[in-house]
Every structure is written in C-alpha cells, then in structure tokens.
Amino acid sequence: MESWESDILIRRRYDLINKTDCTPNLIAKLVEKKVLSKDDRSSLTVKRNLEGQEAQSDALYTTVEKKVNGFRILIGALIQVDQLAPAKILIEEANKLGKGNGLPQLPPEADELSSSTTDAACTQPEPVWLPKDMKNFVENELELDVHSAPPDANDMYSLPPKGRGYAFILNIIEISGQEPRLGAKEDTKYMIKLLKGLGYKIFPDKYTLYTRSNWNKEQIITELEKFKTKCIRDRVDSIVVYAGSHGYENTILTATKY
C-alpha cells in the first residue's frame, strides 16, 4: 500500500470503523482477492467474538494497510457488499489528493444516501439523553450531587516506562517583530532531559529541534501532522506537547506570521 493510502486509513480510521461491518461476505471477497489470508479471516473472527464489531473493523483496516493494492481492492469489495459509506470516504479522500483515477466507481445511490442522511440530521436532530440528576441541574438549576470514586485500573492508560509515550517539543526562538528568545534554547535542553527521564520519546528528530529556530506556520502544521500520524500508527498511551513562543489568547507568534 502506498503512503498516501495508508495515511487516509489512519486519518479517517474513526469514521471508517464506525461505518464498516466486517460481514462474512465482505471478508470472503477480500480472501478471494488475496488481500486477506485464511489466517487473517480466522483472526478477525476471533477478534469480533472477543472484543466486538468495532475492534474487528479496526483490525481489518490494520491488516489491509499492509497489503499491496489493498486500498483499491477494499473499496471494490465494500461496494460489492453494499457498504457504500466507507467506500465513499476512501474515494473522496483519494480524490482530494488527485489520486482517484483507477479506483472503483460508486453507484449513483451513494450520493443519494449521503444527501438524505445529511438532510435528516439537519431537520430531525437526535435528542440528547441526560441522567435525571444532570437534567435537573441543566434545566431546573437544581443542585448537582457529585459522587466520586477511585479510578478503575482497567480504565486507565499506562504512562512511561510501562506504557508508550511520545512528546512533541516546539520552541520558536526567532519571532517576526520580536527580539530572539535566546533563553528558549535552554528550555528545550531541559525539557528534553525531563521528558526523556520520564520515559518519553522526543519528536521532532534531534537535528530539527536544535537547528530550526525560526518555525513558520506551515512547518509547524507539517511536523504536527507527522507527529499525529505517528501517534495513531504506534497506538501510544500518552502524549505531551510543549510549545514555547510569544503570543496571546488562542494565538502563537511564529517566525513569519500568526
């Protein structure tokens, strides 16, 4: 699978998981096209039985991501078994990148399904359910009785070194219209020392951290997107993002502009 195809599967994973049902028919189509092996099929069945449909769908996309031509064949299989919503997501994302040529085509009803779903969501919003105490608090301004309990260990994420942790350090030293933040170099050095001592892997790479002092908006967005993709791909347990600059509410000053 090409990198842009893999990036789509990672970036849109949440929507894809929620719209994909790994039916025996879909899995059979992928086995027939040799995107999935018989062992893959068995693993996906066990995953569904033990962890549920969403975990199975997630495992399907993780497996397909490793296969040659998996992106195109998956779209075709989804269309064949009438799962048009996830197929539409994949095709639209590919078209945005100018990579849609040669991909299977959606039937006309896919557009109708999309527009009718949007219209229904706009005209008939789903009512929000609230527990009785919260409803009284929100609607009648009655006192809210809050009960707390120690966290369940099964619902907690593991921090490094037991769990996997990634840290992103951004320190803008040269800022448009401002004196250089010379002390920021020391901040970076000590932040790296602190976070490494806590077991975190540091991003961007060391060369970028020490040589780039005049970050602009486009560079920041590019590095953050790479960091986000890496965190999703590696399924990290915790992240830390440190940003040093001048600025004000909701605004960070960069080397060239806001």
Task: Compare 11 and 130 and report the one with higher pLDDT.
Answer: 11
CB 241 within 8 A of CB 168: yes
pTM for this prediction: 0.46
pLDDT of 126 above 50:
no
Q: List, for residues 185-213, the tens digit of each pLDDT value.
A: 888 888 989 999 999 999 988 767 766 77
Angle between helices 217-234 and 3-11 (to 10 degrees): 80
CATH 2.40.10.10 fits 3-120, yes or no: no
> Which of the listed CATH numbers 3.40.50.1460, 3.30.420.10, 3.40.47.10, 3.40.50.300 matches domain 165-252?
3.40.50.1460
192 in the Ramachandran plot: left (φ > 0), alpha (ψ -120 to 50) or beta? alpha
Q: List, for residues 162-188, the tens digit of each pLDDT value.
A: 889 999 998 888 887 778 888 888 888
Percent of the chain with pLDDT over 90: 10
Percent of the chain with pLDDT over 70: 79
Grade residue 129 by pLDDT with cuts at 50, 70 and 90.
low
Determine the pLDDT at residue 168.
94
Minimal CA–CA distance to 58: which of 43, 73, 72, 69? 43
pLDDT of 120 above 50:
no
Q: List, for residues 137-169, the tens digit of each pLDDT value.
A: 666 666 666 666 666 666 667 788 888 999 999
Question: What is the domain partition of the chain in residue ranges?
Answer: 3-120, 165-252
Partners of 165 in beta bridges: 238
